[in-house]
Amino acid sequence: MSNEKATLSVGGRTLELPVYSGTQGPDVIDVRNLVTEGWFTYDPGFVSTAACESKITFIDGANGVLLHRGYPIEQLANNADYLEVCYLLLHGELPTAEENERFRRTVNNHTMIHDQMSHFFNGFRRDAHPMAIMVGVVGALSAFYHDTMDLTDVHEREVAAHRLIAKMPTIAAMCYKYSIGQPFMYPRNDLGYAENFLYMMFGVPCEEYKVNPVLAKAMDKIFILHADHEQNASTSTVRLAGSTGANPFAVIAAGIAALWGPAHGGANEAVLNMLNEIGDESNVERCVERAKDKDDPFRLMGFGHRVYKNFDPRARVMRDTAHEVLQELGLENDPLLRIAQRLEQIALEDEYFIERKLYPNVDFYSGIILKAIGIPTSMFTVIFALSRTIGWFSHWNEMVSGNYRIGRPRQLYSGYTKRDYPSE
């Protein structure tokens, strides 16, 4: 906290507002008492408002920094695995060897879903978007685990976390299997987290499926790089829904619904759609010129980032991983992927992109990796939701662990003033 005061002159009065300092990032002005003076602040999208205090994730977009509990994302992605990052986000510290083993064993004990839940899928059309199914099925978990309603019980919250971390890959894979008419694959607890997901996605009962370790490693990195991203739209939705005291599974379902939007979780799917629109490597230069023309509706997807005004730190890891996957699968000459590689080359060399810091972001590379692995674009956001669940839960858990208030945003009303119903 700072001893500074901000001075606000309004309506012929001067008010002093407290100024607070975090460990990193801009100072914030406390405007909570303005409402007692008869004023609200106006901030569409809440882009200039700190709605909470958090110790989980810090982003410095100007310098391309992303920290989870103080650890740089690059170090976590290159040295930890996803379950270690889950433990870190949830508990605040990296696990010891004993804690790590116990955490993995506990997660493995929760990978299966209640058999009755498998019947829920039959209520959906086969061509339903997998995100529509995921929203419904994750929300339905609240009907099976009533014990998680006691939000003051630390143990019950921890059990809810274990259930979500463990069951999300199972549910995600079931969404895919249902859409293609294949039988569901039960999880295998002898496999690692990412390995198990790929097994449930691509395995079939009639033959043995061996998970490629290069692909499993790539999938694990995708999970890590999407695990949390501070107070974005879906995380803020989780906090707002959670502030009502709602069941945590319903709260996570709300986060999934927010993530579904193309402006948020659908970015890597938009990258693949763009590559398909370009169509051929010979069209790349012409499409780049179109993208530079502000009067042309064509836009390059997967370049630059709303938060990062420098290179997205996650993209560096994804770029190396993408090349490893393409080499492993012998897909260097895949037509769509060659388009992507040519676009990448132009973006890293063309002064237009360099001056505007329009570097390829994490969505650009993750879309390429997922396509190479064989995951359809309709599943991209589902995998994002699977990855982000631990971030959502950690923020919800942090909120309900302290003193919190129900969210109640204000408005600038611009409708009719009071008027009377017309008499006959």
Cβ-based neighbour number of residue 49 at 10 Å = 14
Cα 216 versus chain centre, distance: 19
How far is 174 from 169, CA to CA, in rounded Å? 8
Which residues on neighbouring strands pair with residue 60, listed in sequence order?
A: 65
Burial (CB < 10 A; 0-12, 13-18, 19+), residue 320, is middle
> ∠ CA 258-363-232 to the nearest 5 degrees?
35
The CA-based dihedral angle spanning residues 42, 46, 49, 51, taken in that order and rounded to the nearest 10 degrees: 120
- 250: helix, strand or coil: helix
Check residue 64 and give left, alpha or beta (phi > 0: left; psi -120 to 50: alpha). left
Phi, psi of 302 (to 5 degrees): 90, 15
| Contact between residue 27 and residue 50 where contact means Cβ atoms under 8 Å apart | no
Residue appearing with tokens 């949830």: 90
Give me the DSSP letters along 24-77. Answer: SS--EE--GGGGGGT-----GGGTT------SSEEEEGGGTEEEETTEEHHHHH
Q: Is 363 a catalytic residue?
A: yes
For the question of residue 293 being annotated catalytic, the response is: no
Which strand (E) or helix (H) includes residue 137? helix 130-140
Asked if 55 and 92 count as a contact pair (C-beta separation under 8 A), the reply is yes
Tracing tokens 């505007």 back to the chain, one arrives at 356
Say which of 162, 264, 323, 350 is annotated catalytic: 264
Please provide the size of the chain in residues.
424
Residue 263: how many other CB atoms lie within 10 Å:
9
Check 81, 228, 312, 363 and give the catalytic one: 363
To the query of whether residue 91 is one of the catalytic residues in this protein, the response is no
Residues annotated as catalytic (active site), given as ranges: 264, 305, 363
